Every structure is written in C-alpha cells, then in structure tokens.
Chain A
Amino acid sequence: MAALKSGASHYTWAAAVVGSNNAAGYQLATELPVMAVGGFNGTDPSPTLAQFQDLVTQGKIHYFISGGTLRSSSGSNAAAQIAQWVSENFTPQNIGGTTLYVLGR
C-alpha cells in the first residue's frame, strides 16, 4: 500500500488491476483512483490494449497489479491482452506477496 501511495500525485491512477472488486480493495485502502480494467467481471472492452498503452505512454498509470481473475467465457478479452502485454514488457516486483509492475517512470 505504501508503494501505491508513494508519488501518487504524479499519476492519474495509482494502479490498474483487472476486475472492479480487486480495484475496489486497493482504492478503499489508499483512497486513490485505481483503474478497474475490464469493469466488474474484467470482461468489458475498456480500456482496450491500445488505449491502455497510450495511457502508459502518457505516464498516467503508476502500477499494474497482477492477479485479476477472469471467470467469464463471454465478453471481451481486452483485459487478458493488457495483462499479457504488461507481463511481457515490464519487470515484475514482489511486494508483500503481490506481484506489481511499475508502468510509470
């Protein structure tokens, strides 16, 4: 949590995580905006991979937290694409049992 809070003022979102319930937990703990990738179930096409990449390029998202579970067989797989892109292009850090990727500078 301390990691999420540090330097948060430089970012629009302190973190992004797949699924609203995961995001909610971090958001309530930090009282900072946490992006729910894919909405409630992680199956809404928002943001798309391209949109997410733009936001990362603009330095608007600090961390990506892995661990969002995808349960649905229907709907968009944008969230899965994003998770995959992040894991392929960033270095994971393990903080307190949670895998984080630093997206921001």
Chain B
Amino acid sequence: MASQHTMPVTTGARTGRNPQAPERQPDRRDRLPLQQDRAAVRQRLELAVVLAGTAVLYLWNLGASGWANAFYAAAAQAGSQDWAAWFFGSSDAANAITVDKPPASLWIMGLSVRIFGLSSWSILVPQALMGVGSAWLVYLSVRRAAAPATGDVRLAHRAALLAAAVLALTPVATLMFRFNNPDALLVLLMTAAAYAVLRSVQEDRLRWVILAGVFLGFGFLAKQLQVLLVVPGFALAYAAAAPGGLPRRLVRLAYAAAAMVVSAGWWLLAVELTPAGMRPYIGGSQNNSILELTLGYNGVGRLTGDETGSVGGGNGWGVPGLLRMFSDEFGGQVAWLLPSALILAAGLLWVGRRAPRTDAVRASVVVWGSWVLVTGLVFSFMAGIIHPYYAVALAPGIAGLTGLGAVLLWQHRRQAAAAMFLALAVAAAALIAFYLLGTTSAYGPWLRWLVLGGGLTAAAGAGLNKFLRVRSVQRATAVLAIVASLAGPLAYSVSTAAEPHSGAIVSAGPAPGFGAGGRGPGGFNAGGRNASGRGTGQGFTGQGLQQATPGGTGGSGTTTPGGTGGSGTTAPGGAWISRRPRRGHGRSPRRTYSNRRRCGRAQERCIALHLGSSRCGL
C-alpha cells in the first residue's frame, strides 16, 4: 500500500511544488486573473450565504424567548443603569450582589441594553451575532489549515464551509446562541483563541500568540475555569508545530500565558482590591470572595460535586460516565457528529503521519481534537453541577475536525486508509442519528430511516470509491454523505429555533412532548418550552440543506474530466503529503515573508487569488 501512493506523491512533489515547473498545467479556473477573481468572489458569496443562513437560524423570532434566562437579563439591565453594576456584574443596579459568574458576557449585553433599551432583542441579538462570529472564525481557521494541505483553495474553502455549517447546525449551538448565558461568549473567545493559535503556527507572528492568550483570558472572565480545559491542547499544538527552535517556542508560550493571566487577572485583582463595603457581594461564594467562587463553586466543586450552596447535588446531575454525552439528556444536543469527528481526526493523523513537524493540519487536529477530548471527558466524568447546554463548548472542536477531516480524507480517498476512515465516520454519523432520532417522535419515522439508509449508502460509497470511478457517482456519494450526516442536527436545530426558550436550564431539540425523555434534572422548571418544532421546520430544512451542500466535500470537482479522481492541478496525493520533501525549508519564516513580498498581499488573500501558485509560498 505504501508503495502505491508513494509514486504519485513524489510526482506530485515535482509538479505541484516546483515554482518554475513548466509541466504545471494551469487549471481552467486559475488561468486568467479575471477568472481567479471570479472564483474568489464566488467563494465569498458562498461564505456569505452560509453565514447569513446562520444569522437567520439564530435570529429568527428571537423575541419569542422573552427574557430567556431572566437571571442574566436582569443583570444586563442592572449594568445598563449603573456603571459599577456593569463592571462587577451585579444582579441589581444598586449593587447588592453579583451573578455567580464573572461579568464579560454581561458587559456586552449591558452595553447593548444601554444603547438600544431593555428588550429581548437588545439582550439576545449580540449573542446570536457571537454565533455567526464563531462560525466565521471556524471557517477562517479551517480554510487556513486546509489551503496549503490541499493545494487547492476551492477545496480548502469547501472544508471551511462544511466546518462552519457543522458548527451552525449543532443543536446546542443553535440553543445557546439564541440564549443569554455566558456560554455564547465563551465559545466565541475559545474559537478566536484556536484561530490565533493556528495562525501563529502558520505565520510565526508573536502578535497572534499573544492574542491567543488574551482571548483565553477574557474567556475566563466569561465563565471562569472552563476555558482552561482547552489551554493544554492549544499549548501543545503550538509547542509542537510552531516554527523555530523549541526554546523559542516555549518562551513565546510563556508570553501567551502571561497575556492570559493579565487579561483575566486585572479584573480579579480589581475586585479583590476593592473594599467589600464598596462593591457588591460576590454571588455564589460563601465568603464574599471572587477566588472562592472561581476555585470552589465554579472550580473544583464542579468536578467533585462539593459545592456549598448549590441546588441538587449528589446524583442530581445525572450519572457521570464515558457515555454521558450520548445519554438522553446530552445526546440530541451535541452527539450527532462527535464520534465521526474523532474518527476523522484519527484519519487525518494517520494519513498525514509523514507530514513535517510544522504541519498545519496536524496542529489543527491537536487544537480541535484536544478541545473535544478534554472538554468532553471532563463533562462526562465531572460530578458537580452540569447542564446539557454546557455541551455547546464542544461544538467548534467537532466542527473543525469534521470540516477538515471530511474534505482532506476525501481528497486522499484513493488511499485505502483514508477511504476507510471516511466510511467509518459517515457510518457512525448515520447510526448515531438513527439512534437519536429514535428518541423523539417529532419528525416521523421516515427521517431516521432515510438518514440511516442514505448514510450507510454514502459510507459504502466512500469506502468502495476505488471501484466507483464514475465522477457523478463520486460526487453523489459526497453530497449524500453530507446531507445524511447533517439532516439530524439540522432538524433538531430548526426545532430548537422554532421554540421559545426561557428559564435557567434549557435544552435543544424538539419539545419534550415528543418523548425525548430525561431532559434536565428535576427541581428546576425549564419553562416556556411549549411550541411544537414541526411544521415550521419544513421550509427551513430545504433552505438549510442547500446552504450546507456547497460547503460539501465535492472534491471530485478537481478531477479532470474522465480522470481517475482528484488529479487536477495537484496529484492525487495532494500537496499535503507531497509537499513534505521541501516543506522543512519552505516553512521557515524568511521564506514566507519573501513570498509574501512577491505576492504583495496577505498570504491568505494571495492563496485565494493565485490558487496555491508558488507566488504565495505554497
């Protein structure tokens, strides 16, 4: 097997990588500047359509949720009336007591209420826009990593679009970006940090390393220690894959850590240094201490279940265990593509195992994969307060892995391993969707069977693509795989958007009346979940699927007509592996900069314009 793909790989290295290669066949799409621009314009339009669709999903009928979580809505109102209340995150404008979180997300809502007046919309629209922003950042992160790896900007664009669509359609993301908990800002900031880390791996600019730390620090001010779950993985990715020697990388990591500490610490210090009589009581603590809140109630207490003053407790938060994310409570929120994302991540690591140390794809897998694994495992095993909506923190990781993995493995599908990982991922998505859709009666039985049939067919098509070389069949396989994998989450997301959500504890998916039992721990009234998710779902479904499709892995578009799959400008091996021989030198900063000068544009824009020609340092 190894020898089978070594040959084209080496050829690819010669043809695809040599700047002066006379044998480089200009693709139809990149011959004329006008056509290049047209391709770039088209990609922007497709991105705009996906982001606009996300905005509609997150903004539609938002007013129906009323105050959503009145606890935070009231604090936003307080912050709009009084700057001290705004700064400390007080529940009331007279500064009696704060919410049991730091105030970063209230800063934004409070400003919005101050500017636009108190209403559902002034509180919830910023949250929805954070969702659109997160999808956009996932798009940028994935496209940036996939561009050099695929050697084809259009493919990279599709991988990124798929990732953005996966994030947008994760039901719990639809829930939380239509809600006013701090989770929306936390997800936005963690995604921004992931983007900054990946960019610093590719660009070797101190600025982005520092910014990653700043984003994480402010993530702490959104929801305290939860942000730390992604930090080890981000640091590992940077330490392993960034350019330069190890000592230099470690020093830069220390800068990032310092930036993180300063970004979070200034506020903690301000609170600690303000005499207790001049500030509100720190809600959620027993001793009026922000440190106690951080380390106890919202810290270690969450892991051990030892949280003084909490409601429930004991086993009131469901049974911790490896399968918690697939339980009735959590499954419909986030589990749809969770195993598939991990399978695709494994596939990326395997297929790219010979890539150089600085490979952006491997760095991406470490960033997104560690994010999903660490956060997912902590959520699975923590004994303290946990709610199903926390799972929104997993969504960008799943999205990044899915977009990158699906498209890159599809590009390399001629390799048996890549085809196998793809087939497994698609089959896993189909089986889980079949199971999850079986827990509700909201959509009728046909949907789960269609998803199962379509998904398994697509999985077989991906696994056996060697024997199905007809281009239209390959294309149909890719489209079917995407449609089948996203249909379930899409249905749940539309149901989520169609219902008003309010109260302290909310969950995504069709209304409980449809039999997705086990929602939310007892003792709290989720409240307000009365509308049916049916009916209105229909028109949306068609629209959403169309948006998702252009983001698809229709990688066979690179084939020359009548070709055997994936032989366009680059050999089937693609630039990812074939670039290896020269990459060790090629990634040095000096080379990047010199190429940037030659191109005269930022590298990313350059790639978009020149489709991976040597002028961009590809």
Residues of A within 8 A of B (CB): 12-13, 20-21, 23-25, 27-28, 31-36, 39-41, 43-47, 71-76
Contacts and interface: CB of A to CB of B under 8 A. Distances in A.
Contacts of B311: 41, 71-72
A31 B92 CA distance: 10
Contacts of A46: 96-97, 281, 283, 288
Contact of A44 (B70, B118, B309, B504): B309
Contacts of A33: 78, 81, 92-94, 96
Given A44-B285, A44-B286, A24 B71 contact: yes
Interface of B: 67, 70-71, 73-75, 77-78, 81, 91-94, 96-97, 99-100, 118, 281, 283-286, 288, 307-313, 504, 523
A interface, by DSSP: helix, strand, loop or mixed? loop
12 contacts: A23-B91, A27-B92, A28-B67, A32-B93, A34-B74, A35-B94, A39-B97, A45-B286, A46-B96, A46-B283, A46-B288, A76-B286
A74 B284 CA distance: 12
B interface, by DSSP: helix, strand, loop or mixed? loop
Contacts of B309: 39, 41, 43-44, 72, 74-76
A44 B307 CA distance: 12
Point out which of B71, B78, B96, B307 has the most chain A C-beta atoms below 10 A from its C-beta: B96
Q: Can you list the 6 inter-chain pairs with the closest CB atoms, starting with the nearest? A: A75-B309, A24-B74, A46-B281, A43-B309, A33-B94, A39-B283
Contacts of B283: 20, 36, 39-40, 44, 46
A96 B91 CA distance: 25
B118 A74 contact: no
A35 B73 CA distance: 15
Nearest to A75: B309
Contacts of B75: 24
B281 A23 contact: no
Contacts of A40: 71, 99-100, 283-284
Contacts of B286: 44-45, 75-76
A47 B81 CA distance: 22
Contacts of A28: 67, 70, 73-74, 77, 118
B70 A36 contact: no
Contacts of B92: 13, 23, 27, 33-36
Contact of A36 (B77, B91, B523): B91
B99 A20 contact: yes
Contacts of A24: 67, 70-71, 73-75, 91
A41 B92 CA distance: 16
A12 B93 CA distance: 9
